[in-house]
Each structure stands twice: as structure tokens, then as C-alpha cells.
């Protein structure tokens, strides 16, 4: 792969050619399957970012994990606490990786003398000089280019301490946190030269970075993401085993954890792809105990209405303005793709507070369908958009062994999708009789216009509550938004969801209200200034 942006765009081109998608999984003892996430603009996106997934199958013996600056003590108390939280999951990951034959490189910068006599330290020192040693691999790399610098998403000018009172800066670190076990077959180094020599000596072309802090050391150190990317390594960030030094009282005035996610999105767009620890452990991705944000999982897999572009932008609005934690599971958008009946990462539903579904005619592998059915049976809420009325009705066209849910529409949504009117007539959306005071309609100005074709859905089940009605000339009106109850789950469905709908502030207001109604929470007020939106 080439460096920086070309690395990301190579993933885009592969995906658009129709690569098979796969769940995060470790297939067997000596193989590894990773699903790497990136973000990029494509011609179809019209300037919007799309979340993209690429299946990677690196050879374990040609793969290394670099653990950046997981010190036992940091100058910031909050940082020290979060490092201690990260370490047990990280140690589990590196133990599994080591058993697979991967090289583990411990890089606690400024403390390697503590390990002067350790075999792992000597291993790094004794690696022969690489013939292709980059001339400035010993230096920090603050930015890949001016474009990256220009759009850096958070202000870190004050050092990034979130504590009150603010911690005093210093250098209290003396070693790596003891939770991370160092074995003789590992390596210890904080030198870009030594680490490059190690990688080349062992024929390693895939590098996984984890550790702290993502906006400083993980990105910028000589062995960090930027240098690994620009000098040709297939580098990925393990995005759930990292943290930022970010003060939520600084721009853009979001929670500490949202600040981390903004940096991750920045990396996925401009530096390299990311993965999660689920690839090794099979468990949902790691979350800090103080991350109290509701976890919203978007499930996107359709090629008709550009959900792969509209949902990430909407999710970003929920994160930045409303303090939610959003995760997007993106299936193939190509109806001809043999791998379209596969949505990576459905294990995320085990920890979700809300699922948002925009899927069209997919049959899922049994494990993926089990995650979704278990989620619905748990009584947690659902927001469903447009083609979700036939989300899991593949009409028998799914691969052998895959599962459908053809009655998902009547059973869960309370709907009766059977056709839609042709494209062309604009749909006028008005309030259903008796729904004027429903909280999902609060602040939504009526009527408004939708450019999407009107779905034919009558009659709805008796358990539904109609909210919005759509009309086009010379046709019977149809419900276009309603609520339902599935077992103990709150359910909201709308047949709206055309790309133009997401440009309409009335539709976005409706959808924001629905998200919070489904979770049985009030919609947070967006204050007049960004600083007042801090949610720690």
C-alpha cells in the first residue's frame, strides 16, 4: 500500500470492486481475519464521507503489534486512570496475538533503560540495520501534510488534561504498566530506527498500533501511525484500545470520549484504517467505565438510498450535538455483490442502547441474525428507516445457511409494506389525526415535502400509533411514520429516508426526536454556544 491518503483510497477502490465483507473474527489458531474501517469520499457520495470496510487477512508471522506509551504513571491523573482501565483488555489481546506468532513490541517511550537487561530489550537492539531504513524514521511526524493539519478536529494546546483541578505537568513515568506482560520473545524499544530494523528483519508488513495518546504519541512518534503509513507499512489502529489527551473544555467542547472518536474519524479519513480488539477476543469493543454516553448502533446495508453516506453524517450530529456514542455497521451497498448478505460487527448489538436499521433485502449468517434477534428479544429499542420494512426479506436469494426474517415488518414494525408508488410525484407529509402532541413530533414544522416515492403500507397492525401521513396526487394517503411495541421494545418506523430527506431540517428533527423517544430519554437542549454543550 502507498502512504497517507492513497492508502485509504486503495481500500475504497477494492471495496467498490466488491470485496467480500466479514465479521471481526479470529478464524483459527494460526489465521487472522480483520475488518478494517476507513472513511473516504467517493464519486457516488457527492462530497459526503462514506464508512468503508475492507477484509484483511495478514499472515501472523508477518504482523506486529506496537504498544505505545502505556506508562504505569502519567502526569495527568485522568490519563493514568484510563491507562489502567485499558491495560487488562490490551494484555488479553497481546497474549492471543503472541500465541498466533505475532511480534509484540513494547514502546514505553523514555523508560527503556528500565529494561536494559531484559531479553526483549536486547532483541530490539540487536536487530540488523535495514537496507531500506528511512532517512527520518528517528523523527516525530506531526502531520502527514498540510491538509491533515488544517482539519485537525480537537484543540490540544493546553496539554489535554481533563481533571479539575488541573494536574501539574511532569515526567513521572519510569516503566510500562505492569499489567502488560512482557515475554522474552517480545521486543522493547522506543526508537523509530530500532523498530524499523525489527520489522524489516522479521519480514513484517502489517503493523497494529495501540496505546496512548492517539492525538499525540500514537500518531506522531517515530514508530507511530503516520510514519508507518508514509513508509509503506499496512498499518492499522486498534481504535478501542486507545485514548486522547483532550480537555473537554476546549474546542470543539464535546465529551472526552467524543473527542477521542473525532480523532479516530480523522485518522480513518487521512492516515490509515482502524480495527477493534473484537478481532482477537470475540467480545464487544472496549469502553471506559466513565463513558456513560448511550451507545447507538447503526446497521446500514442498502444501495438504493445512499444510507452509507447519510447515516454517518447524521451519526456525527448525534455525537457532537447530543452526546451519544455512535457505531456504524456497514454492509455492502452493491446489490450484485456476492458478499452483500453480511454485515460486519453485529456483536456490537450486545452492548447497544439503541439499534437504527436501514437495510434492504439481506439474509444474514446465523450468528449475525442471532445477535439481532437477541437484541430485539431483550426489550431494547429500535428505529427503522425506509427499506427496513423489507430488511431481512431476501426472497430466498440469500446464500445457503443464511437466515431471513420475512415477517419482520408486521411482527416488529407493525407495517404492511407491499409496494411503492413510482418516482416523481413529491410527497406532502402532514400530521396524523390525534398525533399532534406526540413527543416525536415536537418542533417538527408541518407540512413538509419528501422527494422519495411513497410506500404502500396500509393496513398497519392495530398495535401501531400513526404519526405522519404522506399524500401524492390522485392516490390514497399512506402512513409514513408510526410507533409500535414489539414485546418490551419501543419501535419507531418511517418510510422516509430518501437522501433529500436528510437535507431537510424537519426530517432530521423528527429522527432526533425518535432516537431519544425510543430510548425513553428527553432530547437534550442544544445550547446557544458550543461551550455549553460539554457532556462529561
User: How far is 207 from 205, CA to CA, in rounded Å?
Assistant: 7
Tell me, yes or no, whether 433 lies in a domain.
Answer: no
Among 224, 257, 281, the domain-final residue is: 281
Least confident of 144-148, 319-323, 483-487: 144-148
For residue 196, tell me if it sits in a domain: yes
**What pTM was computed for the model?**
0.87
CA distance 177 to 74: 10
List, for residues 88-141, the tens digit of each pLDDT value: 999 999 999 999 999 999 999 999 999 999 999 999 999 999 999 999 999 999
- Domain end call among 238, 257, 281: 281
d(CA 1, CA 235): 9
Nearest to 292 by CA among 521, 491, 73: 521
Cell 446489490 -> residue = 335
Which range marks the domain in which residue 160 is found? 62-281
Q: Based on the domain organization, do 408 and 507 belong to the same domain?
A: yes
**pLDDT tier, 361 (very low <50, low <70, confident <90, very high otherwise):** very high
pLDDT tier at 14, thresholds 50, 70, 90: very low
Q: Please provide the size of the chain in residues.
A: 536
- Does 174 share its domain with 271? yes
- Calculate mean pLDDT across residues 426-451: 97
Together in a domain, 488 and 378: yes
In the chain, the number of structural domains is: 3
**Does residue 67 share a domain with residue 30?**
no
| Best CA proximity match to 87, nearest among 238, 285, 241 | 241
Q: What are phi and psi of 2, to 5 degrees?
A: -90, -175
SS3 state of residue 412: helix
Amino acid at each position: 500500500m502507498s502512504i497517507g491518503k492513497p492508502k485509504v483510497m486503495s481500500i475504497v477502490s477494492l471495496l467498490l470492486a466488491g470485496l467480500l465483507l466479514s465479521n471481526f473474527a479470529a478464524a483459527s489458531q494460526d489465521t487472522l481475519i480483520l475488518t478494517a474501517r476507513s472513511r473516504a469520499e467517493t464519486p457516488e457520495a457527492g462530497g459526503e464521507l462514506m464508512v468503508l470496510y475492507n477484509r484483511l487477512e495478514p499472515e501472523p508471522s508477518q504482523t506486529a503489534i506496537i504498544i505505545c506509551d502505556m506508562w504505569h504513571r502519567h502526569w495527568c491523573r485522568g490519563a493514568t486512570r484510563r491507562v489502567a482501565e485499558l491495560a487488562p483488555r490490551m494484555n488479553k489481546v497481546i497474549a492471543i496475538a503472541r500465541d498466533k506468532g505475532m511480534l509484540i513490541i513494547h514502546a514505553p517511550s523514555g523508560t527503556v533503560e528500565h529494561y536494559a537487561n531484559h531479553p526483549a530489550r536486547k532483541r530490539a537492539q540487536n536487530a540488523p540495520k535495514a537496507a531500506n531504513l528511512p532517512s527520518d524514521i528517528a523523527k516525530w511526524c506531526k502531520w502527514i501534510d498540510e491538509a491533515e493539519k488544517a482539519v485537525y478536529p480537537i484543540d490540544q494546546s493546553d496539554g489535554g488534561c481533563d481533571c479539575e483541578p488541573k494536574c501539574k505537568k511532569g515526567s513521572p513515568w519510569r516503566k510500562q504498566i505492569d499489567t502488560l506482560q512482557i515475554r522474552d520473545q517480545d521486543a522493547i524499544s522506543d526508537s523509530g530506527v530500532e523498530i524499523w530494523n525489527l520489522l524489516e528483519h522479521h519480514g513484517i508488513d502489517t503493523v497494529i498500533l495501540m496505546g496512548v495518546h492517539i492525538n499525540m504519541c500514537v500518531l506522531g512518534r517515530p514508530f507511530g501511525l503516520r510514519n508507518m503509513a508514509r513508509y509503506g507499512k499496512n498499518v492499522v489502529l486498534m481504535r478501542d484500545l486507545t485514548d486522547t489527551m483532550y480537555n473537554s473544555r476546549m474546542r470543539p467542547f464535546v465529551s472526552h470520549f467524543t473527542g477521542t472518536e473525532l480523532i479516530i474519524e480523522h485518522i480513518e479519513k487521512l492516515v490509515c484504517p482502524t480495527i477493534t480488539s473484537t478481532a482477537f477476543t470475540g467480545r464487544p469493543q472496549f469502553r471506559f467505565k466513565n463513558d456513560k454516553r448511550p451507545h447507538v448502533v447503526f446497521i446500514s446495508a442498502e444501495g438504493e438510498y445512499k444510507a452509507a453516506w447519510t447515516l454517518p453524517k447524521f451519526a456525527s450530529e448525534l455525537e457532537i450535538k447530543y452526546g451519544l456514542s455512535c457505531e456504524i455497521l456497514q454492509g455492502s451497498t452493491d446489490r450484485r455483490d456476492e458478499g452483500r448478505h453480511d454485515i460486519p460487527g453485529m456483536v456490537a448489538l450486545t452492548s447497544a442502547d439503541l439499534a437504527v436499521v436501514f437495510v434492504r433485502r439481506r439474509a444474514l449468517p446465523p450468528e449475525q441474525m442471532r445477535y439481532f434477534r437477541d437484541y430485539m428479544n431483550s426489550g431494547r429499542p429500535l428505529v427503522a428507516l425506509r427499506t427496513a420494512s423489507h430488511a431481512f426479506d431476501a426472497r430466498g436469494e440469500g446464500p445457503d445457511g443464511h437466515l431471513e426474517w420475512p415477517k419482520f415488518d408486521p411482527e416488529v414494525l407493525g407495517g404492511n409494506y407491499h409496494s411503492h408508488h413510482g418516482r416523481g410525484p413529491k410527497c406532502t407529509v402532514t400530521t396524523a389525526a390525534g398525533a399532534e402532541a406526540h413527543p416525536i413530533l415536537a418542533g417538527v414544522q408541518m407540512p413538509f415535502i419528501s422527494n422519495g416515492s411513497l410506500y404502500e403500507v396500509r393496513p398497519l397492525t392495530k398495535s401501531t400509533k400513526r404519526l405522519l401521513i404522506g399524500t401524492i396526487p390522485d392516490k390514497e394517503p399512506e402512513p409514513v411514520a408510526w410507533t409500535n411495541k414489539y414485546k418490551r421494545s419501543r419501535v419507531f418506523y418511517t418510510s422516509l429516508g430518501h437522501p433529500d430527506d436528510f437535507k431537510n431540517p424537519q426530517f432530521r428533527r423528527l429522527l432526533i426526536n425518535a432516537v431519544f423517544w425510543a430510548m425513553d430519554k428527553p432530547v437534550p437542549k442544544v445550547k446557544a454556544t458550543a461551550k455549553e454543550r460539554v457532556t462529561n
